[in-house]
Amino acid sequence: MPYISGANGEWAISGKANEAGETDTQTGSNAPSVPERSLEKALGLQIRSLRRQHDLSVADLAGAAGISSGMLSKIENGGISASLTTLQAISGVLQVPLSSLFASFEERQDCSYVPAGKGLTIDRRGTKVGHVYSLLGHVLRGDVAVEPYLITLSADAAPYTSFRHSGVEFLYMMKGEVTYRHGTESYHLSEGDSLLFDSAAPHGPEVLSGKEVTYLSVIVYPRSQD
């Protein structure tokens, strides 16, 4: 079992050695690991899906492709590696390009790169009172939406404590000081402080110092509510 150990204020995450004697170092996150996906499994699932879309039985597709029903069942279950000749025959019966059988395996993994100072300025309610939102990245797929913003409050910005939206929000102060309100509580934040909260409650900067303030805001919410 991995554990976190610390001494003299220095913390490290330890891992458990595997059968090969290599240390399985953990990242410290509780996120589950990503299961390995084999090409055979992906091909089988795609073929089954396309077969059902064409309202074909296993016997129908197998017979038209010139293979046995048993072999097709093994292919769909990811139990065997089919030859390219067999896959081409199957794709011909399904009337799709051979490459489409590999579509589910070659899924896109999103990555968003934004150079320094190139974030997209977003218009939100706060922009009218000296609140500038610069979007630092965007994820196109998945069940969860993540919106990272670099927020700048100008020296003459006005307080605004009525923001409300679904999900959770994380703030990390980078420059300046601000009193930030969440629900019925207020928090004095200065450089290096952070705040994580349920963003369904009214929230926003309540007391400003009269100097420019910069902080990172990361909003996370279910994409179904987008």
Q: Which domain holds residue 128?
A: 120-225
Is the Cα dihedral 61, 64, 69, 71 positive or negative? Answer: negative
CATH number at residue 51: 1.10.260.40
Instruction: Please check whether residue 23 lies inside any domain of the structure.
Output: no
> Are 70 and 156 in a shared domain?
no
- DSSP per residue, 140-185: -SSSEEEEEEEEEE-TTPPP---B--SSEEEEEEEESEEEEEETTE
| pLDDT-above-90 percentage for the chain | 42
Q: With contact defined as beta carbons under 8 Å apart, do 190 and 177 qualify?
A: yes
Residue 193 maps to which CATH number? 2.60.120.10
Are residue 194 and residue 124 in the same domain, yes or no?
A: yes
Q: 87: how many CB neighbours lie within 10 A of its CB?
A: 18
Helix (H, G, I), strand (E, B) or coil at 83: coil
Q: Which residue's entry shows tokens 């009525």?
A: 162
pLDDT in tens, 201-221: 999 999 998 899 999 999 999
* Sign of the torsion angle spanned by Cα atoms 43, 49, 54, 56: positive
pLDDT at 8: 45
Query: Do 126 and 216 belong together in one domain?
Result: yes
107 inside domain: no
Residues 217 and 135 in one domain: yes
Quote the CA–CA distance of 14 and 222 in Å, as a whole number.
Answer: 32
Digit-coded pLDDT (tens) for 8-27: 444 443 444 454 554 444 55
* pLDDT score, position 174: 96
Mean pLDDT (whole number) for 113-136: 76
| Tens digit of each residue's pLDDT (9 = 90 or more) over 36-77 | 557 788 888 889 989 998 899 999 999 999 999 999 999 999
Sheet holding 144-153, edge to edge: 120-122, 131-135, 144-153, 213-222, 168-175, 194-198
pTM, two decimals, is 0.57
